Each structure stands twice: as structure tokens, then as C-alpha cells.
Chain A
Amino acid sequence: MINYVFRRLLLMIPVIFGITIMTFLVMHLSPGKPTDVLTDMNQKISVEAKQRLVAIYGLDKPIYVQYWLWVKRLVKLDFGKSFKDDRPVIKKIVERFPATLLLNFFSIILIFIVAIPIGVFSAVKKGSFFDKITTVSVFIGFSIPTFWLAILLMILFGLQLGWFPVSGFRSINFDELTVFGKISDLAKHLVLPVFISAFTGLAGLSRYTRSAMLEVLHQDYIRTARAKGLSETSVIFKHALRNALIPIVTIIGLTLPDLIGGSFIFETIFAWPGMGRLGYEAIMSRDYPVIMCVGTIVAVLTLLGNLIADITYAYVDPRIRYRK
């Protein structure tokens, strides 16, 4: 097992380099330079001043040189400085990380709590009214434009009823609140984004649970359990669900990049100071160091998530074992 994990980790290195080379190339080949934001159509800036800025950022060097310099820094775990404000990229990421983690952690928990029972009951009552209605609703959630739903709920709960704040991460007077006040303030700000993120993300997991459950319910051991005269509840929750959950456990590993990578849409709509927005804004302003760092982190997490999923799968399913 340790051998297997070690081999997989080693294999990740060339894959990561491949991904970073691709990201670097795509980034540099797409039209526009980071300095354009400052200089485009600004008649006060002379051609010489533009060239000076390009040179300061090192953008006058050939692409392979720029990539090599980036790799040299990366080896020392230095992700460079943001072109936008000259701050260390890693510092910017660390700053935004808690907001994204908080939002995605709660939304993933909510998705698991809601999606698994929906999936189980839809499978057990396959073809019933409940199955049909949940199928339709999870697909509505899946296909509904997030920003549209978000605005609707903001108008209803933020504006008309005044229950929750329209947007933001915390209130203006957050620092003056007591500990309890701070927790309740954060919770209030979390409700709408978590609900929307969970509602639009339910479909995948509930469908997955449903099909896993359906497959298990057709197995011989379930028939045996029923033949033994066990109660239906016991058959479903003790025998079937346990086995149906095996593949679902692995999904937790795959949610890792989401937890940290954030979502641009939720974070923009809810003025949430997270990683998704950082990445998106970096792309829009061609902030190369930030794009590379976010890209690399998400790539590493995706690969690690896959590895964790594989390991947990082997752990929970005795039929899978890794040979030396």
C-alpha cells in the first residue's frame, strides 16, 4: 500500500509539470498583457512608459525563459508576487482561503445530508411520486442559473423579509460584536450562499446514491436478507445502504479541490472574498503569478483528491486490494 501511494505521488510530478506548462502557454498565448490594464487607451501614457512597465514585469523575455524563472522560484516554494498589487501570491491566497473553506465546507455537508436520503428513498421507492418529484427538483437545481436564483433569494430574504444580509462575508460593525454576535453574524451571511451552492449541487450526489442503491438492492444478499424475514428498514439501512455508500465515500476525496478552489459565481454574486474570485479576477487582469499559483494548487488538489478517493475505496471495499 505504502509503495503504491509512493508510486502514485511520484507519478504526480510529471503530470503537474505538464499541467503548469499548458497553463503557462495558454495564459501567454491568449491576447493581452498584464500591463494593458494600466496602459490601454490611456493617452497620458507614452509608448516608452508602456515599454518600461513591460520590462519591469519581465514580460519582454521569451516565454520559455519566463517559465524557467517561474519553475526556479517554485522549487523554493516561492510563487512570486501579484502583478496587481505586488504582494506575495501565497499571502493573497492564505488571506482568502478561510472564506472559501467556510462556504464550501458547509455546503458540502448540506449536500451530503440532503442528497443521500433523497437518493436512498428515490431508489427504494423507484417510480413513485416521491422519486419523480425529487428527480425533477434536483435537476431543476442542477440546471437553474445560479446567479438568477441567487438574485431572487436576495430579493426575497434580503430585501423583502430582511432575514439575511443581501451579500458580503460579515457586517460593517463585525469587529464591535461579541463572540456570540460574531458567530451569529457569520452564520447569517452564510445561509443564502450555502443554500444556493447546495441546492445547485444536489443533483450529482443524489443521482449517484440512487443508482448505487438500485444496484445494491438487486444483489443476492439483499434477497437473502429479505428471505431471512428481516424488516424492510433493517434490509435497507443495515444491509443495502452500507454497501451503496462505499463508492460515495470516495466522492469526499474528489470534493477537495472544490473546498479550496472556491467558486467564482457564488463568490462574485455574494461579494464573498474567496479563492474563486481571486482566480477569476487574476485571469481577467492577466495576473500571471496568481493564475499560475491558483492553477497549480487546484491541479495538485485534484490529483491528491483522486489518490485519496482511490485509497479510501480500497479501505472501505475489501474486494479491492493493491498488489505489490
Chain B
Amino acid sequence: MRQLLISFLIILISFSGCKKPVIEKSLVSKSVFGDYYIEASIGDASYLNPVLSSDSASGDINNLVFNGLVKYDKNIIIVGDLAESWNVSDDGKVIIFNLRKNVKWHDGQPFTAEDVKFTYEKLIDPKVKTPYSSDFELVTKFEIINPHKIKITYKKPFSPGLISWGMGIIPKHIFSAKNGESVDFNTHPANRKPIGTGPYKFVEWKTDEKIVLEANSDYFEGRPNIAKYIYRIIPDESVQFLELRSETIDSMGLTPDQYNAYQSFFKNYNKFRYPSFGYSYLAYNLLNPLFKEKKIRQAIAYSINKKEIIGGILLGYGVPATGPFPPTSWAYNPDVKDYEYNPEKAKDIFKSFGWKDSDNDGWLDKNGKKFEFTLITNQGNKSRSIAAELIQEHLKKVGIKVNIRILEWSTFIHQYVDKKNFDAIILGWALSRDPDQYGIWHSSQRKEGQYNFISYENKEIDKLLEEGRVIFDIKKRQKIYRRMHEILADEQPYTFLYIADALPVIHKRFIGPEVAPLGIGWNFKEWYVPKEKQKYTIQE
């Protein structure tokens, strides 16, 4: 409510001289060094150590300071980063990485296989507060063949394991004990003064104020063009927006109303728009007899007007979700058609299952019982509660009574979702770039606290998920996940609702930002500001 009120107020005050937005196409000319890039974040970072951190603020910084062995290119294909190349054995159990030889840590020390081994040891150390240990559970052996070659053996083939080596590699010489002192990895001072191999070097961190990085002139892929990267902590989104308007920050992800409202001020900013890597869904508790039949779930899908939901919540900045993958993923199946809004067809299906309004009270009933269920979602997410209300309205039109309950997040997750104590919920998944969704859909993942909380079970899906994890060939994996997309769209264990657009704006003086399936910042190292447009001067 508060956010809405503030947005409304800002709209009122600054609504003047609106023009159609003009998106200047980035010019490709000779890049130059200089200027700062200032970004804002709602929260401060926690650890500037990729092994320990899991929040997005720390992630933003760690991605610029550290490198993994591999990374995603703009099309979400795995390419080498600190690893020059790699080989996967025929049985898929062994990966051999050949490391780059010309890489130096920010303090000038050479990067070697020892650093990778050290990082791995920390990831599996039970005393280390890392949330990433699960990715490495299947590793049975880690061997250094020579300072630039490592061999990793897995218990069984595990293709999502390859990208888990995209984890930022940390320097052994910084963290290891000197002169016999004991070192606590979790509290090590380097967690606040990181030394990495990445394109940017750490300069300073003023808690809750800003984090400053500078271009690494020894970077193995060449020095980045933007001299300094400044990460300001501004905890209120509406204030962030005011800072953007006064041009004291250079980029921000906007909400649909912000993106729409201020045409005139966008003369200084380039607007971008692309689907985010996640989706919102309406999930059914499949243990509930109401939702047992696939046809009934399909009929509910026909009754929900996704276009209206997207228009109402996202002001049109989103697309209907047809399955568990966003259109930018290579696993997405473009042939899967969405369920068009068709309440009449839905009513016919309900009727064929014996659900009709026999007592003329407006609600469907069968054997004296009304078609009624409770839809729950979490507090503090306005889009979800509006989606719940719209779904309630849509289902009312076909005769289904929906009650809505909005619950505090922890109570919602731990008392209702984990314990399967619900009829239907609205939630969203933020997805990783790898399409493996074993945890969400595999029938073995139905225990309390696991993520197949709807109790979905389908033998073919189980088989596809298992196969998808052991095959490394992207073409073959694509086939598997596209089939999975098809089945889930047909089975409708969730009604996949929408994929919201990411709506970033970036100051016009920056040349180079380009939208790709991976997002917008993938080529940040190449961005530059022409000399005459540079806002902050750098003394070299």
C-alpha cells in the first residue's frame, strides 16, 4: 500500500510533458577508458566471498571480483572462464579442466589449481557456512594433475554439476593459515576485503552506504572500460527512483508503473525490457480429491484469464507462462500452446465430471458438496494477492468458490507449504539458468521441506528428470526438457501464470548495453562512455 501511495504521488507531481520513449540504439565505436558506473541496491552485501554469500547484493559484487572455472555466455551456453577448456569422460563421471595460465590474483600472485582445490574443500567443509554444499555432494575425488589441470570424479554422471564450477574461485594464499595461526574461514577479514581474479578490484566497503570497485588493469581478458563501479545502498525503492531521476545513480530495475509513467525524464536513460528468469504459478495440492483429475485442472486453466492478470498486475509487461521454463531458456518449448481463456469450455468439462449448479445458488456442486477451495499466498507481495483476487473473480464466473488467505512468509512456508496443509497456493520460482528441476518435479522429492510440495508423480517426468541430469550434450538435454515442458503443460499440476519482464533503465552515456537471453549486464566489461560524455574524471 505504502509503495502504491508513493508511486501515485510521484506520478502526480512529476507528470509533465510526456513523450513517447525513444530507445537509442547503442553505437559501436572505439571504446575509451574512464567514468564511474553507479548502481543502487535495496540491501547491503553480507560476505564478499562467493563460497559464503547467497544474497543478491553480495552476488552482484562477487560476480565482478571473482571468476569461476566456467560461466554462461549471452545465450546461456556454458563457456570457459578460468578454465580454458574441459573434457567430460564418455561415462560422464569425470571432468578434466584445463586452467588458464596467465591469470593473476588482484594482489599479483598467480592463480593455480591449488586455489580451485582449496575452494572445493571449503565448499564441502561442514564448518563452513556455505549454502552451496549440495552442488558438490556427488563429487568423490578431486585431483590436481598439474598446476593447470584438475580432474574431478563424480559418483554418477551429473550434468548440472558442470555449471556449479562457475562458483567464484577464492585464493588459497589469502585464507590459509600463516605462521601456524588458526584461521576461521567464516570470519576471515578477506570476506570484507576480497582478493579475486575478476575484471574489478575491491577498493572499499562503507557498511550500509556503498561498495567501490575499480577496473583491474591486469585482467586476463583486458582491462574493463568503466574505471569505477560504485554500489550504493538505498533501502527504499521510491527513494532509489528519485536518485535515478536526479541522475545520481546510473541504472535501476523499474516497476511497470515507473516504467510507464515518466516519459519526459527518460530522455537521459535507455529503457530495456526482457523476460525475467522465473515465473508465477497457481499450484494445487494433488492429494486433495478436488484436483486429482487432470481434466479438472485443465478446466481451471481455461477459466483463468491470464491476459487480464498480466494487464492488471504487470501493466502488460510480461508474458503468459506455458510451462516451467521462460522463453529465454533453451529448454523452453515454443510449440506448447497456452490454455486460451474459455469459461464455456471449462464449464462443459466440469459438467462432464458431474459438477453442476443443481441448487441454483451460482456455485457448482456434486453429491451435495460445493466446488470450493482456499487459495493461500504470502504477505508482502502485492502482485500475488492481486493475482489471487483476479483468480477468485475468474473462477466465480464458472461457479467455483475461492476463499483467499494471505499469510506471513515463514508461517506460509513452514506451516502450510512444507506440511502440505493447503488446497492451492500462489507462488513464484526464480530459476537457475540450468533447466534441471529435479527438486521441484521428481516424485522422490515429496517429503516435508522438499519442493515437490504438491505431491506430483509422473513416471515419464521422473525418467526425463533423471536422464536430463546425466547427459551433457545440450541438444539431447534440450529434447528432454522440451518434452517435460509439453507433459507439464498438459498435466497442469500448476497453472503456470506469468513471466514478468525485467525493466531496467541505464543512463544514456553508457555505450554497449545489450539485451540477450542471459539478461543485460553480460558484457558490462565492454561498456564505455565517450570521453566528452564522461561525468566523473579519473586521474590515471
Contact = CB atoms under 8 A, between A and B. Distances in A.
Interface residues of A, number: 54
Given A49-B133, A169-B209, A155 B239 contact: no
Given A40-B413, A151-B6, A86 B129 contact: yes
A101 interface: no
Given A42-B54, A152-B13, 4 more contacts: A41-B429, A85-B46, A166-B243, A273-B206
Contacts of B9: 148, 151-152
Contact of B131 (A41, A47, A49, A278): A49
Contacts of A273: 206-209, 233
Contacts of A169: 209
Contact of A45 (B126, B131, B238, B409): B131
Interface stretch (A31-39, A69-77, A242-250): A31-39
A47 B450 contact: yes
- With most chain B CB atoms within 10 A of its CB, the pick from A40, A165, A271 is A271
Interface string A233-246: 00000000000000
B134 A46 contact: yes
Contacts of B254: none
Contact of A92 (B10, B135, B207, B414): B207
Given A151-B239, A268-B236, A273-B209, A85 B132 contact: no
Q: Which bracket fits the contact residues of B?
A: 35 or more
Interface in B208-264: 208-210, 230, 232-236, 238-239, 242-243, 245-246, 248
A170 B248 CA distance: 12
B236 A269 contact: yes
Contact of B238 (A44, A46, A151, A165): A151
Nearest to A280: B235
A289 B309 CA distance: 42
Contacts of B440: 43
A188 interface: no
A192 B245 CA distance: 18
Given A84-B46, A159-B242, A162-B246, A44 B129 contact: no
Contacts of A278: 208
Contacts of A53: 129, 131
B415 to A, nearest CB: 8
A47 B447 contact: yes
Interface string B161-187: 000000000000000000000000011
A172 B191 contact: no
- With most chain A CB atoms within 10 A of its CB, the pick from B5, B208, B246, B450 is B208
Interface string A171-193: 01100000000000000000000
B439 A43 contact: yes
Interface string B20-37: 000000000000000010
Interface in A270-320: 270-271, 273, 277-278, 281
Q: Which 5 A-B pairs have the closest CB atoms?
A: A32-B410, A273-B208, A31-B410, A43-B439, A46-B134
B110 interface: no
Nearest to A36: B410
A147 B6 contact: yes
A271 to B, nearest CB: 4
- With most chain B CB atoms within 10 A of its CB, the pick from A43, A47, A148, A273 is A43
A178 B410 CA distance: 49
Interface in A87-116: 87, 92, 95-96
Given A147-B6, A159-B246, A167 B234 contact: yes
B60 interface: no
Nearest to A154: B242
A311 B536 CA distance: 55
Interface in B108-138: 126-127, 129, 131-135, 137
Contact of B239 (A42, A44, A50, A167): A167
Interface in A119-178: 147-148, 151-152, 154-155, 158-159, 162, 165-170, 172-173
Nearest to A48: B134
A168 B131 contact: no
A47 B137 CA distance: 13
Interface string B451-475: 1000000000000000000000000
A147 B432 CA distance: 36
A44 B134 CA distance: 7
A158 B10 CA distance: 13
B193 to A, nearest CB: 12
Interface of A: 31-33, 36-50, 52-53, 56, 81, 84-87, 92, 95-96, 147-148, 151-152, 154-155, 158-159, 162, 165-170, 172-173, 268-271, 273, 277-278, 281
B14 interface: yes
A42 B187 contact: no
Contacts of B187: 81, 86-87
B2 interface: yes
Contact of B451 (A43, A151, A270): A43
A155 B7 CA distance: 12
Interface string B360-402: 0000000000000000000000000000000000000000000
Contacts of B6: 147-148, 151
B47 interface: yes
A43 to B, nearest CB: 4
A269 B439 contact: no
A158 to B, nearest CB: 6
B242 A38 contact: no
A159 B9 CA distance: 14
A16 B134 CA distance: 43
B413 A49 contact: no
Contacts of B133: 49, 52
A36 B242 CA distance: 32
Given A46-B137, A56-B129, A271-B234, A166 B208 contact: no
28 contacts: A31-B411, A31-B415, A32-B409, A32-B410, A36-B410, A38-B131, A41-B451, A46-B137, A47-B447, A50-B449, A53-B129, A85-B191, A86-B52, A147-B2, A148-B5, A155-B10, A159-B245, A159-B246, A166-B248, A167-B242, A167-B243, A168-B232, A172-B248, A172-B536, A268-B235, A273-B207, A273-B208, A278-B208
A177 to B, nearest CB: 14
B520 interface: no
B99 to A, nearest CB: 25
Contacts of A165: 248
B210 to A, nearest CB: 7
A36 to B, nearest CB: 6
Nearest to A173: B536
Contacts of A39: 131
A155 B209 contact: no
A309 B191 CA distance: 44
A178 B54 CA distance: 39
A266 B311 CA distance: 35
Contact of B38 (A41, A48, A172): A172
Contacts of B134: 44-46, 48-49
A273 to B, nearest CB: 4
B61 to A, nearest CB: 13
B91 interface: no
Interface string B199-210: 000000011111
B46 A155 contact: no
B126 A52 contact: yes
Interface in B487-511: none
Contact of B232 (A85, A147, A162, A271): A271
